[in-house]
Amino acid sequence: MYCTRKITDDLLYIGGSDRRLNRFENLFPIPRGVSYNSYLLLDEKTVLFDTADEAIGRLFFENLEHGLDGRALDYLVIHHMEPDHCVLLGETLRRWPDVKLVCSAKALSMIGQFFPLNVSDRTLVVAEGDKLSTGRHTLHFLMAPMVHWPEVMVTYDELGKTLFSADAFGTFGALAGNLFDDEITFDQNWMTDARRYYANIVGKYGAQVQTVLKKAALLDIQFLCPLHGPVWRAHPEVLVEKYQKWSTYEPEDKAVLILYATMYGNTENAASVLAGELAEAGVHDIKMYDVSDADLSDLIAEIFRCSHLVFAAPTYNGNLHPKMEALMSDMKALNVQNRTVALIDNGTWAPVAAKHMAARLAEMKAMNVMENPVSLRSSLTEVQRESLHALAQAFAAELV
Ligand code: FEO
């Protein structure tokens, strides 16, 4: 049975949520599920903004048919060709054979790559600044390449003051009836997932996000409609401000994040002692994670949040502990930059982890790595404890 929500008198939310999928993109755990948002504009012409994932296919088509209430579907605007939004394209074309597609040139070529369809003669290819009148509404198309795929565009509806923002401003998390930001407590219940979504999926593309933010700043936006998560109508600036920080790689919080790998607990002990010293020095809200235990996506999100990072790892196979290696590789891939960093390593006969961590960090931009890493030779000594005390004092001087 259909389950839609009205956004305005002529704009319907017709998406749905999936609570069964374990990993988004078969990569990121989503214990809170995810929503696939789709919108239907009922103007003199009818316009569908994106389809949805096949997981909610049945509901999506019931919603669409209910929304159309017997009317024809005139346009399908395709903002993004990732299959969580376009996999139902073929079935949509089968059910509404006269619908006209609206998309970027790059998206048109991707349609042919994903589907055995030739849709050129039924596609309106749009470029930056192009407009489409649907009756009372005029849609403006703005290109948003590499946020986070090359074909992405966003649409601004002038009359509705609505920005359909594709994946931008989206978040993990299933919707539970409440659709709008003023119906939920976003900061408390959603921000962690919004940060994790941004950092891991869009994080690499800060420069491209900045371009979109500059375009959006020129618009009068009353409704912000992303492809995942809630619709913003009360305080979109809450997330826009976060995007400003995340896309410029500016830490959100002046805070310490300790990330350690440990085999038998000795490196963990050094991390714990450092955390204690930091607390004694007056640092609040210290976070610690075992990189072998936590999901990489959570660690990346925390790295986007915190200003001061400590990496502690044992040497492994004459190199870096593989879990720490994976984390640092992901940090580089996601363009992490502009952090203050301290290193702790451990090695019973040849500690080289700090050297390798420093080399990884040197490949990232604006990483201020503190000199003289604390180096253990199996377990912590009183001399090394003094070094951790000094490190804690140095961090506290910047944070307290
Ligand atoms: Fe929600 Fe990039 O797809």
pLDDT at 327: 98
- Domains contained in the chain, CATH given: 5-247 (3.60.15.10), 257-399 (3.40.50.360)
| pLDDT < 70 regions, the chain | none
H helices present in 198-236, as ranges: 206-217
pLDDT at 182: 98
The DSSP call for residue 118 is -
Distance 16 CA to ligand 1 centre (A): 15
pLDDT digits (tens, 9 = 90+) for 303-326: 999 999 999 999 999 999 999 999
pLDDT at 354: 98
pLDDT at 240: 96
80 lines ligand 1 (CB under 6 A): yes
Which residues lie closer than 8 Å to 62 by C-beta, 6 or more apart? 1, 2, 3
pLDDT digits (tens, 9 = 90+) for 320-356: 999 999 999 999 999 999 999 999 999 999 999 999 9
Query: What's the N-to-C CA distance of the chain in angstroms?
Result: 55
Could you identify the atom of ligand 1 that is nearest to the CA of residue 152?
2
53 lines ligand 1 (CB under 6 A): no
151 lines ligand 1 (CB under 6 A): no
Q: Is the pTM of this model over 0.85?
A: yes
pLDDT at 68: 98
pLDDT at 17: 98
Could you identify the atom of ligand 1 that is nearest to the CA of residue 228?
1
pLDDT at 171: 98
Nearest to 29 by CA among 175, 167, 179, 196: 196
79 lines ligand 1 (CB under 6 A): no
Give the number of other CB atoms < 10 A from CB of residue 318: 9
Task: Specify whether the CB–CB gap between 318 and 350 falls below 8 A.
Answer: yes
pLDDT digits (tens, 9 = 90+) for 242-293: 999 999 999 999 999 999 999 999 999 999 999 999 999 999 999 999 999 9
pLDDT at 59: 98
Could you identify the atom of ligand 1 that is nearest to the CA of residue 227?
1
**Residue burial 258-279, b: 16+ Cβ < 10 Å; e: rest:** bbbbbeeebbbbbbbbbbebbe
pLDDT at 371: 95
